[in-house]
């Protein structure tokens, strides 16, 4: 963990068992929602933003996590995914 600004965009790149890479992008975060989450957080503890999904990439959710506290990030397009080609 290291200090960073509140994110405006976020990209996850992951690979399946066939080596196919996929991008999941949050662009942009809903400013009111993300700022509200950070304002509720303890500034002295690390924060994680976690993408959760099934192995087949279904049932996606984005989670704001600090310690044991987990809050779903709701105002996000969970279908914003595409194959990564480098």
pLDDT of amino acid 56 = 86
What burial letters (b/e) apply to 5-35, b meaning 16+ CB within 10 Å? eeeeebeeeeeeeeeeeeebebeebeeeebe
pLDDT of amino acid 17 = 87
Give residue limits of the domains in the chain: 10-83
| Closest to 50 (Cα-Cα) out of 79, 29, 72 | 72
When pLDDT is averaged across residues 34-39 and rounded to a whole number, the result is 97
pLDDT of amino acid 55 = 86
Which of left, alpha, beta for 75 (phi over 0: left; psi -120 to 50: alpha)?
beta
Has residue 3 got a pLDDT over 90? no
Model confidence over 43-86: pLDDT tens digits? 999 999 999 999 888 999 999 999 999 999 999 999 999 999 87
Mark out the alpha helices in 1-86 (DSSP H runs).
Answer: 31-40
pLDDT of amino acid 1 = 82
């Amino acid at each position: 963990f290291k200090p960073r600004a509140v994110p405006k965009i976020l990209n996850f790149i992951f690979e399946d068992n066939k080596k196919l890479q996929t991008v999941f992008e949050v662009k942009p975060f809903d400013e009111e929602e993300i700022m509200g989450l950070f304002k509720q957080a303890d500034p002295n503890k690390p924060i994680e933003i976690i993408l959760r999904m099934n192995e087949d990439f279904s049932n996606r959710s984005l989670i704001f996590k600090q310690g044991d506290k987990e809050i779903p990030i709701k105002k996000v397009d969970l279908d914003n995914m595409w194959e990564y080609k480098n």
